[in-house]
Structure formats: C-alpha cells, structure tokens
C-alpha cells in the first residue's frame, strides 16, 4: 500500500461514553464493570485488537473525566450542553479528530466484531460513501442499522455542525442526509450477540453470561 493510501485510511476511534445512563439508575455506564474491568476499558481493548489498526482512540465522556483519563487516552466532553445524545459525541469527536476517518463505538457493547473497522472501511471505499454503518440481524431475521457503529469521513463535520445548530439531535435524521454504506454483519461466523448492548444492570449481567 502506498504512503498516500495509508494516510487515506488513517482512522481515529471514538468511544461514546457521554450518556446519562438513565436506564442504569443514572450511573456512569462506561465505568460499570464487565468481567472485572470498566466497560470503557473493555471497549478500548477491543478497538486495539481490530484487524485494521486505529491511529488514535478518544473517549467522549461528560462525567468522572479523571476516571476516564486514567485509561490512558484523551477524553473530551460534549461541546453541546445538556447530555444531547450520541450526535453530540460525534460532533465532539469530529472537532478533535486529526485523521481523514473516524470510527464511533458505544461504551456499552463490549462484544463488537474484531473486523468492524476493516469491513466498514471496505464498504465505504467500495460504495464511494461518506459513512459506513453496521447493521445487525434481529431475532426475526430483519437486519437493523446500528447508527452508533459508524465510520465517518471527518469532512462531514460542517454538515453535522449545521444540523446540530439548527436544533437537530436525532442520529437517524442526520445519517439519512449522508451517502451511507450499510454493512450487515450476518455472515456465517458472525456472532448474533456482537452488537448487544447493556442499558440496564440486568442486561449487563446477561452480556457477562454470554
């Protein structure tokens, strides 16, 4: 691969840990233990094991910043006040990202695929898209988009700034405006639980049992 091509596939990872954790009793979800380690650390380790390596990883968090900083990567709170949701995290990441591409993953889905980056990048390039989004099979056989698992061209920052400044907060509404490659993770060998997330402590225990 040429140096130019290498530069074009330099990717920053962003862990989304900025939510209220309201369905988990208001606890800071990323700091809840999963197999003895904080969810955010499990997520970070999973990103470090990706088949396509990341150049840098950032964390988006709005509370307990020192605890997140202790994980050894830069931590940035939302640039929009009021726990404005995942898009606020996207915006913060794009503002800080120094690579042409940014990968987003939530802190509460610690089993995501180790070839996530590779497959999203392949689809992004093959379809000449501005973003690539994972999709996961449901129990009824339908494939459901996973909008917080996205690979995004960082030059979408301007589009996202305009969307949020006009009051937009819904992630689906913004991604629908972009050229988006949908990437189903439904191949033989793909885990049915890869994108399972823990919104409650009970769901976190169920994930640990897997």
Number of structural domains found in the chain: 1
Does pLDDT of 7 surpass 60?
no
144: CB partners within 8 A, 6+ apart: 135, 136, 137, 138
Report the pLDDT value the prediction gives residue 169, as an integer from 0 to 100: 86
d(CA 137, CA 148): 16
CATH of the domain at 156: 3.90.550.10
Confidence of residue 2 (pLDDT cuts 50, 70, 90): very low
Confidence of residue 1 (pLDDT cuts 50, 70, 90): very low
pTM of the predicted structure, to 2 decimals: 0.92
For 162, the token pair is 């305009």
Confidence of residue 24 (pLDDT cuts 50, 70, 90): low
CA distances from 109 to 82, 154, 193, 204, 209 (A): 23, 23, 9, 9, 14
pLDDT digits (tens, 9 = 90+) for 164-173: 999 888 999 9
d(CA 102, CA 96): 10
Full domain range(s) for residue 63: 3-209
């Amino acid at each position: 691969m040429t140096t130019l091509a290498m530069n074009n596939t330099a990717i920053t990872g962003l862990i989304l840990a900025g939510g209220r954790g309201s369905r988990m009793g208001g606890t800071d979800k990323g700091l809840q233990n999963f197999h003895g380690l904080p969810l955010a650390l499990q997520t970070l380790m999973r990103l470090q094991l990706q088949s396509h390596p990341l150049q840098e990883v950032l964390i988006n968090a709005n509370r307990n910043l020192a605890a997140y900083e202790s994980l050894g990567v830069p931590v940035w709170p939302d640039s929009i006040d009021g726990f404005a949701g995942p898009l606020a995290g996207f915006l913060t990441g794009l503002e800080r990202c120094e690579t042409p591409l940014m990968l987003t993953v939530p802190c509460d889905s610690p089993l995501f695929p180790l070839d996530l980056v590779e497959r999203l990048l392949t689809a992004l390039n093959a379809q000449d898209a501005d973003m690539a989004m994972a999709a996961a099979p449901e129990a009824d056989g339908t494939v459901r988009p996973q909008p917080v698992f996205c690979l995004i061209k960082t030059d979408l920052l301007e589009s996202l700034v305009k969307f949020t400044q006009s009051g937009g907060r819904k992630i689906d509404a913004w991604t629908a405006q972009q050229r988006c490659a949908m990437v189903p993770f439904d191949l033989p060998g793909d885990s049915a639980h890869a994108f399972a997330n823990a919104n409650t402590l009970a769901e976190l225990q169920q994930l640990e049992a897997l």
